[in-house]
Amino acid sequence: MPAGSRPLRRLFSKYGWARKCLAAYARAVALEPGNTDYRLSLLRYYVEAPAIAGGSIAKAYAEAAEIRKVDAADGRIAFATVYLTEEKFDQAFHEFDELLRQKPDDFFALYQIGRCAALSGVQLDRGLAALQRCLQVPLPAGADRRTTLANIHYRLGNILEKKGDPAAAQAENAAARQVYPDFRPDKDTLRD
């Protein structure tokens, strides 16, 4: 096979895998429409994949609306995820503002404000304060302490890095690994 055709073959192979992933996510949702984990996976596919592989912001918004019907909290995360993708940062933060107005120490809302700041690079001081507050309030019932604390430290590290403090960011990442040595940020159980 000519060397020039290898990159093209790899491209089509990746396209094929992407379509298989989309089909698997869609099938999981069809089998368990009430499972928001499956729906969030499909939503993330829609926002990350190129249009040629089935990615679509319109489909992501539709999926976020379906998620909100099943679970209001996961619906907020879903919409915030799409807003962050479209760089509609104020709207992403707004998803959690009402929760914080009603209950200023709502762990879920505080974490998500920190997550939005870490991912967007805006409202960094607010995100930093929210995550630091997460370390002071009781963890939600049923939360895995190690994973939850590791995620908080990881997001604190993201923000501190964006604020230009690499030493403090490294310290937070070390704290995440100290709390949970097997921590993998790509497996954020707090709905990354």
CB 51 within 8 A of CB 30: no
- State how far the Cα of 153 lies from the Cα of 43, in Å rounded to an integer: 26
Select the more confidently predicted residue: 8 or 153. Answer: 153
CATH code reported for the domain at 7-86: 1.25.40
CA 131/CA 133 separation, integer angstroms: 5
Residue 24 in this model has a pLDDT that exceeds 70: yes
Reading the block at residue 123, the tokens are 């409202």
CA–CA distance, 58 with 53 (Å, rounded to integer):
14
Q: Mind listing the pLDDT tens digit for each residue in 46-104?
A: 999 999 899 999 999 999 999 999 999 999 999 999 999 999 999 999 999 989 999 99
What is the CA 67 to chain-centroid distance, rounded?
A: 15
**Residues whose CB is less than 8 angstroms from the CB of residue 144 and which lie 6 or more positions away in sequence, other chains included:** 189
Identify the pLDDT of residue 120.
Answer: 96
Per CATH, is 89-192 categorized as 1.25.40.10?
yes
User: The whole model's pTM is what?
Assistant: 0.81
Structure tokens at 52: 């040629």
Residue 80 pLDDT: 95
49-to-23, 40, 106, 110 alpha-carbon distances in Å: 13, 14, 33, 29
Give the length of the chain.
Answer: 192
Cβ atoms of 59 and 68 within 8 Å: the answer is no
Measure Cα distances from 149 to 30, 47, 95, 101 in Å: 33, 27, 23, 24
Fold agreement between 7-86 and 89-192: yes
Where is average pLDDT lowest: 13-17, 44-48, 72-76, 150-154? Answer: 13-17
Indicate the DSSP class of residue 137. Answer: S
Q: Domain-by-domain residue ranges, the chain? A: 7-86, 89-192
> Model confidence at 7, in pLDDT bands (50, 70, 90)?
low
